[in-house]
Structure 1
Amino acid sequence: MKAAYALTAVLAAVAFVAPAKAAEPGPQCVGAQGYAASFGERRTFRWRPEWLAASKAQRTDTPAYTALIKRADAALTGPVYTVTDKLRTPPSGDKHDYISMGPYWWPDPAKPNGEPYVRRDGQVNPERNTSAFDVTSLEAMSGAVEALSLAYYFTDDPRYADKAAQLLRVWFLDPATRMNPNARFAQGVPGRTPGRAEGVLDTFRLLRVVESVGVLSPSKTLSAADQAGLERWFADYARWMQTSPTGREERAATNNHGSWYDYQLATFALFARDDALARKVISEVGKTRIAPQVAPDGGLPEELKRTRALHYSYFALEPLVGLADLGRCVGVDVWGYQTKDGRGLRKAMSFLAPYVGREASFPHKEINPAGAAGEGAPLFTLAARAYGDAGLAKAAAVSAAASPTALDRLLIAPYEPKERF
């Protein structure tokens, strides 16, 4: 969808916001304090205390728990990660700057040195994941911190918290190894550009770090100075996102990139204790993201033209559902947003629901339908709960069965509607 078409769609739809629903019963997320008041001072925003408590009570009976502890044990004896270990030096000359390569760009066989690289949508160039770049370390660090923090919560074993804190200090705080809070050299393309706006997407991996830091709070492995340093890092990164040419270009994206930008910015703002910024971002999601991206039938045109249309439909809805969930923290009802011609999250989830368990029948190009199985489980679960929708709850159950070891099996309680499937 081109920018002009997106604007036309918004204006033609004459969007409105449905009245906000009453708050769900149970612990409430309160601005930058998150769930701290009802979660033993654990300042999380999307990891809900009652859902984690329920998982802790039955943890040994689930494949997801077994998989989590396996990940955490591997991280416990694994390395620490830093941007300064990469083999390639960024154009700035400073190895503290993050650098990565666009995933779908390959050497041009018609050129002697392969440059400029050419794009093959949906086909990841393994060069991106080598030690020349930082994305593999970023993924490993954030995944390890997530697994370790949750393992600490579930087992109360301080070893997990100690290792998580070490990883956080090395990546974000230690002057010798910390990442500079910018992504200006992310997703560059050899022979074309040292960095692209799309590179801001790389740091969506840090969303799990924000929640993990909150879960670690009772361990006291992070000092007050560590906590302040982490909050300052995320505040600086949020500032870079808003002020840099790269960040501003990503914000203007009319596909999933714009939504992931908002999801990161709102989450990082809450972590950095900037309620006003988070509320502003979330309050604009309906008109700036949902109305332009979701068609009246619920499809996402920008994602449906991709070679992995089903995967990217889920991927594009993930930040929108995340922002709707974060709306609880700032009093904004994104779930209830709907344009006069029907564009909204409920319509988008209903568009995908018929293909759960039938991914190969999706009527748009999808080069890896099996890879999309199970991707929608957390999205359908949250949407079913938000709308009290038995059909979406059934889709959630079928999707969850396809990925029983997925972490969201521990993080999100299944929705049991009064109406039977």
Structure 2
Amino acid sequence: MKNIPFFTILIITSLCIIIAQGKLGEYVYIDYVTIEGLEYFKSHNLSSPSSALNSINSTALKALKNNQPYSVINTTVTPPNNNKQEYISYAPYFWPFCGCDGKNVTDPETQCLYKQIDGKVNGDVEILSDPHDSTSMVRDVLSLSISYLLYNDEDFAKKAVELLDVWFVNNKTRMFPDVNYGQVVRGPGEWKGRPEGILDTRLYVYIPAAIRILTNSNTWNHNDNIDKGVKTWFANFSNWLMKSELGKNESNAENNHATFYVAQLATYLNFTGRTKDANDLIGKFANTTFKDMILESGEQPKESSRRKPYHYQCFNLEALTYIAIFSQKINGTTNLWETKTKYNATIQNATDYLIHLNSTEDKTVLLPALYKVRDYYGDKFGVYADTMIKLLKETAGDSKWWTVYSPKSL
């Protein structure tokens, strides 16, 4: 694209995909949001709104009419400790095995052993409201914040602040700053959260971005508790991520779980005034876990061994590109774009590998990372642009979920 800030595209792209895809097990993206990109979008597109902008504003308008703010206390399943302020979700790939005939089983959740079938989502995880409400809360807060910036309507800011207050600040309705019951494996015995449950909060990286917008509103500046309350929540959540056994175990993962852990923690540390710690965290990741992630060919072995290898390699690439951009934005000492693994490979090698990989999986999941990779490395031979055009045509004609501009402008 010519003379169009790529961050603008990334903001609208990622948000529209959150709007379109809200269920567990579906691909929901994270991207770094910049006010500069949104200001550019505002000055160039409000006269003739795009489908993407209409989608964002439509979501914000619906949020204004929602009189039941999202809260963990509305959970459909009470956590094992009987405190509804604890977030709870079920491990999506675990299924009940009740013996040969399943006779005398009246409650599979407590009587049957649950075993993992990688990549196959157990549909009954959808009975839990917390994961859905968590995603919806982020979607609405960001939609409302962006609509406030674009249209300068204080009602959007007021509603966004209300949602933030209910989910993060109000002592009676807020989510506790932990994921102690994230991705629980059901079955006999005590139900405990798993390190993998930390993935559930990956969209919270959007909250600081939304707040950067909302700080210009009268609503934010006339509420003495909201700024301190949200930052306190994220400070406590950061400490939980670093000090809890679940957090420590997730940080020691070797795959996308570690990458998303770093993406989250670095964002929250920076948001709460600990930019140096965020920078140090990224530097440590670049010199340790990242070193084993990408082979010389560009393959990501920790992801390619999964049941959906293309999906998971794109998933990890998504978090890697987020960290790379985030490090740039905080003037970090680590340039993850140029960092090489011990196999002499970079993020670009991983992207090129996926472009040429013969796979029957949905390849459009590469698009968000592809925009960012092209932005940094350039596109001398037009391979990235050609791939984007091809993939956009595979989005069932609904390209508004992928970019605010038509493929012809690439």
C-alpha distance in 1, partners of 2:142/2:194?
Answer: 27
Task: State the Cα RMSD in Å.
Answer: 2.5
**Structure 1 position 88, deviation (Å):** 2.3
Residue among 199, 212, 216 paired with 1:201: 199
**Structure 1 position 136, deviation (Å):** 1.2
Q: Is the 8 A contact 1:278 1:330 kept in 2?
A: no
SS in 2 for 1:284: helix
Q: Is the 8 A contact 1:51 1:413 kept in 2?
A: no
**Alignment deviations for residues 334-361 of structure 1 (CA, whole Å, 9 cap, x no partner):** 1111146322101011111235xxxxx4
C-alpha distance in 2, partners of 1:108/1:340?
Answer: 41
Residue among 380, 401, 405 paired with 2:400: 405
**Alignment deviations for residues 3-23 of structure 1 (CA, whole Å, 9 cap, x no partner):** xxxxxxxxxxxxxxxxxxxxx
The residue aligned with 1:50 is: 36
C-alpha distance in 2, partners of 1:145/1:399?
Answer: 29
The residue aligned with 2:184 is: 188
C-alpha distance in 2, partners of 1:413/1:282?
Answer: 35
C-alpha distance in 2, partners of 1:383/1:201?
Answer: 23
Give the counterpart letter for 1:206 in structure 2: Y
C-alpha distance in 2, partners of 1:262/1:349?
Answer: 20
TM-score by length of 1: 0.79
Is 1:107 the counterpart of 2:96? The answer is yes
C-alpha distance in 1, partners of 2:213/2:399?
Answer: 23
Give the counterpart letter for 2:340 in structure 1: Q
When residues 139 and 281 of structure 1 are mapped into structure 2, their CA distance, relative to the original with a 3 A threshold, is same
The residue aligned with 1:127 is: 124
Residue among 357, 361, 364 paired with 1:374: 364
When residues 397 and 327 of structure 1 are mapped into structure 2, their CA distance, relative to the original with a 3 A threshold, is farther
The residue aligned with 2:274 is: 274
C-alpha distance in 2, partners of 1:271/1:203?
Answer: 15
C-alpha distance in 2, partners of 1:321/1:399?
Answer: 19
Report the count of equivalent residues.
359
Q: Is the 8 A contact 1:275 1:330 kept in 2?
A: no
Give the counterpart letter for 1:313 in structure 2: Q
Identity %: 28
Note the residue ranges of structure 1 that are not aligned, 5 or more in a row: 1-25, 29-44, 356-360
C-alpha distance in 1, partners of 2:197/2:341?
Answer: 31
Q: Is the 8 A contact 1:81 1:170 kept in 2?
A: yes
**Structure 1 position 91, deviation (Å):** 2.1
Residue among 205, 210, 213 paired with 1:212: 210
Residue among 332, 345, 348 paired with 2:347: 345
C-alpha distance in 1, partners of 2:87/2:137?
Answer: 14
**Structure 1 position 292, deviation (Å):** 1.2
C-alpha distance in 1, partners of 2:121/2:62?
Answer: 26
When residues 340 and 126 of structure 1 are mapped into structure 2, their CA distance, relative to the original with a 3 A threshold, is closer
TM-score by length of 2: 0.81
**Structure 1 position 224, deviation (Å):** 4.1
Is 1:92 the counterpart of 2:81? The answer is yes
Give the counterpart letter for 1:349 in structure 2: T
Q: Is the 8 A contact 1:285 1:334 kept in 2?
A: no
C-alpha distance in 2, partners of 1:354/1:153?
Answer: 40
Regions of 4+ moved over 3 Å: 396-403
Is 1:387 the counterpart of 2:388? The answer is no
C-alpha distance in 2, partners of 1:379/1:75?
Answer: 29
When residues 94 and 413 of structure 1 are mapped into structure 2, their CA distance, relative to the original with a 3 A threshold, is farther
SS in 2 for 1:107: strand
For 1:261-300, what aligned pairs fall within 5 Å after superposition? 261-300=261-300
Is 1:162 the counterpart of 2:158? The answer is yes
When residues 53 and 409 of structure 1 are mapped into structure 2, their CA distance, relative to the original with a 3 A threshold, is farther
C-alpha distance in 2, partners of 1:338/1:189?
Answer: 37
**Alignment deviations for residues 100-124 of structure 1 (CA, whole Å, 9 cap, x no partner):** 1011122224342432222222222
The residue aligned with 1:8 is: none
Note the residue ranges of structure 2 that are not aligned, 5 or more in a row: 8-30
SS in 1 for 2:215: helix
When residues 61 and 373 of structure 1 are mapped into structure 2, their CA distance, relative to the original with a 3 A threshold, is farther
C-alpha distance in 2, partners of 1:264/1:400?
Answer: 29
Give the counterpart letter for 1:257 in structure 2: H
Give the counterpart letter for 2:37 in structure 1: W
